Amino acid sequence: MKDILIIGGGLGGLITSICLADKGYNVLVIEKKEYPFHKVCGEYISNEVKPFLQSIGLNLADLCPSEISRLKVTSPLGAEVNMQLDLGGFGLSRYTLDRALYELAKSKGVSFLLKGQVEDVNFEGDSFNIKLQDGSEHYARIVVGSFGKRSNLDRQLNRKFFFKRSPYIGVKYHIRTEFPDDLIALHNFKDGYCGISKIEDNKYCLCYLSSRNNLKDHGNIDEMEKEVLFRNRHLKYIFENSDFLYKKPEVINEISFEKKEAVSNHLLFCGDAAGMISPLCGNGMAMAIHSAKILSELISIHFVKSSLDRQLLEAQYSSKWNELFSTRLFVGRQIQKLFGQDLMTELSIRFLNSAKPVSRQLIKMTHGKPF
């Protein structure tokens, strides 16, 4: 019987495990892959997380992240807005960051079961029974779901968002190219947008969200990029003048921005499993880290020795999660509606360019304060 079992070893799962191990809990993380690995992610993180990451013992300077202070947004028809980012951020690949957090977690006594595929989670009495694909079973007082944007476990748990088809796919490359070190750019195209920013080792993350219809209409990713993304001259230039470092891109399907719940069937969700902000807002990684922080703090308050006030833990976590993130998610969904069609994107960017105070306020509303 573990104190805490965490399904998914991404940002939310790793941060939660580190914080709880620091408090003396017996923690097991089940991750279906082996570290290090790539993930579809924009790999830009708001500076709001820096004090916290330092407090848990992660020295970011050792990972050589880029420092990002400027934002550019463009439309396929040529409009653009350029802004300074008040808080700023940094660029760091998930390959590097997750590996560093994994090593930190192990050093603090967290147990890992890698290449483990969870098939079923059942709440029985006052604890959980977790069944894996290989037939093994594990038991825990608390289970944290940190298994990303979409998982077969969401189906098994009957989460409503899972049964609503999502029109989006995500595609990511690492490239070497000529691009300003301190800039993150969001280049829009029909039914999607592409972000580019520097990460470590003089590399750049090129990650885009596109509709499934774009892919269906053009048959494959390469043709879709040439026929759809290249209509934005900035993207055409980047794709034609860069060294692509992957043999093939990382791809994920069914990216959903539907509302989710932070607690369901007594599971506590964090990161993208609890809610996903539009990638256009560039703040998903910071939200995952912050949600893991508040979850681990509440667990340590309500799970003392063998005494667990599950009802109060679940209620307070749901309340705190909504307090911190529901407005960000709502604003992100509204902003996303302004982009995707050429004329609407053009008009939106022109407006944002002429109303910089509004633009800065929108950025603040989708980001948090340092914690």
Outline where DSSP puts E strands in the chain: 2-7, 27-31, 44-46, 66-74, 80-91, 111-114, 118-124, 127-132, 137-145, 168-176, 183-189, 192-198, 204-211, 243-244, 250-255, 263-264, 267-269, 303-304, 307-308
Distance CA 99, CA 86 (A): 29
Exposure pattern of 248-287 as b/e (b: 16+ CB <10 Å)?
A: ebbebeebbbeebbbbbebbbbbbbbbbbbbbbbbbbbbb
Residues of the chain with pLDDT under 50: none
Q: Residue 264: give the domain boundaries.
A: 2-365
Backbone angles phi, psi at 240, to 5 degrees: -85, -10
Position 371 in a domain: no
Is the separation of the CB atoms in 84 and 129 below 8 Å?
no
CA distances from 226 to 74, 141, 216, 234, 261 (A): 18, 51, 14, 13, 38
DSSP per-residue string spanning 181-231: TTEEEEEEETTEEEEEEE-STT-EEEEEEEEHHHHHHHSSHHHHHHHTGGG
Is the separation of the CB atoms in 19 and 56 below 8 Å?
yes
Q: What is the CATH classification number for the domain harbouring 175?
A: 3.50.50.60
Global model pTM greater than 0.85: yes
How many domains is the chain built from?
A: 1
Backbone angles phi, psi at 263, to 5 degrees: -135, 135
Instruction: Tell me the CB-side half-sphere exposure of residue 134, using CA atoms within 13 A.
Output: 9
CA angle (78 as vertex; 251, 255 as ends), nearest 5: 20
CA distances from 74 to 36, 208, 255, 268 (A): 33, 14, 23, 38
Position 73 in a domain: yes
- Which residue, 113, 132, 114, 112, is CA-closest to 122? 132
Distance CA 21, CA 162 (A): 32
The reported pLDDT for the residue numbered 137 is 97
- Which residue, 357, 267, 369, is CA-closest to 328? 369
Is the separation of the CB atoms in 187 and 194 below 8 Å?
yes
The reported pLDDT for the residue numbered 58 is 98
Distance CA 270, CA 321 (A): 9
**Strand-pair category, 66-74 with 183-189:** parallel
Count of other CB atoms within 10 angstroms of residue 41: 25
Distance CA 218, CA 213 (A): 9
Position 24 in a domain: yes
Position 77 in a domain: yes
Coil/strand/helix, residue 309: coil
Residue type, 83: M
Position 115 in a domain: yes
Distance CA 186, CA 368 (A): 20
Position 236 in a domain: yes
Backbone angles phi, psi at 4, to 5 degrees: -130, 130
Distance CA 326, CA 174 (A): 31
Q: State the greatest distance between any 2 C-alpha atoms of the chain, in Å, as a whole number.
A: 62
Position 370 in a domain: no
